[in-house]
Chains A and B, each alone.
Chain A
């Protein structure tokens, strides 16, 4: 575990509560680590466990899933489906030996900018303490070694702007 390890964390959040809560954190100018990148879905009920596996595969060290509080779901019950799915999936991950801090779940409402910051900071600190998710990365490296690809931009790029 290196001193300068900066974990890569993905957060799958619902459009109505947590994404808006994160917006509120911004509007309130609260600060949190830069490690977390949000992927917006309409409802936490639409978060497929495959998303989580894909994110680990692409090098995520930790994942946060967050939606509306129970009974507050914009779509009535999506978050209950998310919770149920997470219960099972979390067990499965634990069974396969993944540390439980790698995948975390929380409820953050649209008015809880502060809670969003707390949750994100906690996840970042947890993962930082755990270190990189090496085992998954190894699989991934083997995989990419088999199919090397370097993305190339074939377009002729026009760059202009304030200071370009």
Chain B
């Protein structure tokens, strides 16, 4: 067997700590190696051409490239090998960059390790089998999870390209957090005015199937071929009959038993409710937990007033199954926030701010609702406790964010901007009021963003104080805010009427559960991981699953929209061809060895192992053996480790190949 070894310097990236020429020289002595070359950039055109030339010139059977992680350039080198006539699976990558040069300082030790890593790859490639890629069909439908602005944008983009979309939203209405905002920075245009036309477009689009008040329960399959089970939660209303007249909502006698979560708990809602007037779909939901009927069996006021007889108390959750080829996850964020019950509050760490204790210490979304014309105060600047107009408002930034002790080291990115907006909105409504902002740094990167903050300070006279607040307490109906002005170097005390905390944007509490359902990675905060931080920012590492919006990290509206369109484009790329190529890393059974114990069937997570009869000419069953369904096998190899007779092997990672690597140590 003739093997070619190609050691890449990756400019300085590998070459700085690994003596590449020494590696190439050492590799030349390994049995089977016919060519051993080092070069500045193997992935460059000249580098790839060199590989191709050497393969042809020396009639190489297999190649080993010592370069970056196989997750980076394995495909590149496989392609080069194919064009020179080698099977792509006779290419092995020795990870000399991520696993060697970048993580070690000592040149000698790193070079020795690089030689060993390359040797392991050389030994493995000797046992590699030529494999052919498997073709699978693509279901040209997309599932979008989350009906906020990111999900809406992604759904519209995919649908407008002519492909069907299933949009799943867990709340009764789509719209997400954007529908709660009063105005948006840096233009101060009305959030709902720009959002609601999009919501209606989604509802009326012939290619979009909207499943509101629904949650994804199960995801099976793989890129191009997912089967998704969705739980449609019982609304207790027949969606096909309801006209959205709202009579049941206005007549419902249960007025003050449940907080209105759309109003961020600043108001109550009836037992049968529509989250907000522009809700899409405009179909109410009956809240079982507070509705009198579910407690006493009586009332039924909604049944009496509904002319369409659409109330269905006995309605149960239903399961819907959808086949899709791509999944766009756009589940958004949650605000690190207070709860009406202090013991449930996430913000325990900010007891010194009286968050949850004082009614007038509120968070950013609550302020949005107070400022919103459709909010509980109908846009009048009134504080929650007594409805008085606050004359002095203190805004505190970085509550939770950039605070490692609270568990969130990251910057929430949007708070600097929305605090400037809040202070501005307040000043526009209360002309004689005073607005103070306590900040750590002002981060206003973005088009017209810095100008917007300057406008708040210079035109609207918002007073910015650089420093943290140590304590807030109530005294004579005022909230005494004690802080520090680090520029003036002196303590500051402000007797405020209302305090607004710019609390951190955090991942949805159920984000990790959903990640586990879909099978995508997430970071320690619960935000979903992108496949590559620079070059694949909208893809997850799981093929066919794309990310959009704040579920990946804190983002503002334009960024979420841009990411959603990018995710939609990625899904459309997938739909560009009728067949997908899949790596042939799947299990194969050696029928001669298989004893038919079927332990492999028990451990297979995809039920890909089937029973096959070995029959004689006369139809007599000689024995039963395991058989792997190529379409279902995902190639984890759990069966191979379980098999007592070692008769099932994972192509590309079989025992021979692993043993060869171990032997090379």
Stretch among B112-120, B206-214, B328-336, B383-391 lining the A interface: B112-120
A148 at the interface (CB under 8 A from B): no
CB pair B650 A37 closer than 8 Å: no
Q: Which of A17, A42, A162 contacts B636 (CB 8 A)?
A: A42
Q: Which of B533, B605, B658 contacts A41 (CB 8 A)?
A: B658
B637 at the interface (CB under 8 A from A): yes
* B316-336 interface code vs A (CB 8 A; 1 in, 0 out): 000000000000000000000
Query: What is the bound-complex CA distance between A155 and B423, given in angstroms?
Result: 76
Q: Which of A42, A74, A111, A157 contacts B529 (CB 8 A)?
A: A111
Query: What is the bound-complex CA distance between A160 and B95, given in angstroms?
Result: 21
Query: What is the bound-complex CA distance between A10 and B120, given in angstroms?
Result: 12
CB pair B103 A26 closer than 8 Å: yes
Query: What is the bound-complex CA distance between A156 and B59, given in angstroms?
Result: 13
Residues 123-164 (chain A) with a chain B CB within 8 angstroms: 151-164
CB pair A30 B516 closer than 8 Å: no
Residues 568-598 (chain B) with a chain A CB within 8 angstroms: 585
Query: What is the bound-complex CA distance between A40 and B655, given in angstroms?
Result: 12
Nearest to A47 among chain B residues (CB) is B641
List the B side residues contacting A40 at CB < 8 Å: 70, 653
CB pair B663 A58 closer than 8 Å: yes
Residues 615-665 (chain B) with a chain A CB within 8 angstroms: 634-638, 640-642, 650, 653, 655, 658-659, 661-663, 665
**Known: A26-B97, A46-B653, A72-B516. Contact between A34 and B638, CB under 8 A?**
no
CB pair B542 A74 closer than 8 Å: yes
B84 at the interface (CB under 8 A from A): no
Query: What is the bound-complex CA distance between A124 and B529, given in angstroms?
Result: 29
A100 at the interface (CB under 8 A from B): no
CB pair B102 A157 closer than 8 Å: no
Interface size in chain A (residues, C-beta < 8 A): 64
A121 to chain B, nearest CB (A): 11
A102 at the interface (CB under 8 A from B): no
* A42-57 interface code vs B (CB 8 A; 1 in, 0 out): 1101111111001100
List the B side residues contacting A152 at CB < 8 Å: 31
Q: Which of A59, A74, A158 contacts B35 (CB 8 A)?
A: A158
Q: Which of A54, A153, A161 contacts B7 (CB 8 A)?
A: A161
Query: What is the bound-complex CA distance between A30 and B541, given in angstroms?
Result: 22
List the B side residues contacting A73 at CB < 8 Å: 519
Stretch among B18-26, B182-190, B370-378 lining the A interface: B18-26
List the B side residues contacting A155 at CB < 8 Å: 2, 32-34
List the A side residues contacting B603 at CB < 8 Å: 45, 81
A78 at the interface (CB under 8 A from B): yes
Query: What is the bound-complex CA distance between A27 and B661, given in angstroms?
Result: 25
CB pair A161 B39 closer than 8 Å: yes
List the A side residues contacting B521 at CB < 8 Å: 16-17, 20, 72, 109-111
CB pair A29 B102 closer than 8 Å: yes
Query: What is the bound-complex CA distance between A26 and B67, given in angstroms?
Result: 13
A53 to chain B, nearest CB (A): 10
Nearest to A150 among chain B residues (CB) is B31
A156 to chain B, nearest CB (A): 8
**Known: A22-B98, A155-B2. Contact between A74 and B28, CB under 8 A?**
no
CB pair A39 B661 closer than 8 Å: yes
**Known: A111-B521, A162-B38. Contact between A34 and B104, CB under 8 A?**
yes
* B31-56 interface code vs A (CB 8 A; 1 in, 0 out): 11111111110000000000000000
Q: Which of A34, A72, A153, A154 contacts B106 (CB 8 A)?
A: A34
* A6-22 interface code vs B (CB 8 A; 1 in, 0 out): 00101000001101101
List the B side residues contacting A85 at CB < 8 Å: 641
A60 at the interface (CB under 8 A from B): yes
Nearest to B101 among chain A residues (CB) is A26
CB pair B665 A37 closer than 8 Å: yes
CB pair A31 B103 closer than 8 Å: yes
List the B side residues contacting A22 at CB < 8 Å: 98-99
Query: What is the bound-complex CA distance between A29 and B99, given in angstroms?
Result: 10
CB pair A151 B31 closer than 8 Å: yes
List the B side residues contacting A55 at CB < 8 Å: 662, 665
B134 to chain A, nearest CB (A): 15
List the A side residues contacting B408 at CB < 8 Å: none
Q: Which of B38, B95, B640, B662 contacts A46 (CB 8 A)?
A: B640
A103 at the interface (CB under 8 A from B): no
A38 at the interface (CB under 8 A from B): yes
B105 at the interface (CB under 8 A from A): yes
CB pair A37 B524 closer than 8 Å: no
A77 at the interface (CB under 8 A from B): yes
Give 18 A-B contacts (CB < 8 Å), ordered by A residue.
A20-B521, A23-B98, A27-B98, A31-B103, A39-B120, A39-B658, A40-B70, A41-B658, A42-B585, A58-B662, A72-B521, A85-B641, A110-B541, A111-B522, A111-B523, A152-B31, A153-B29, A157-B36
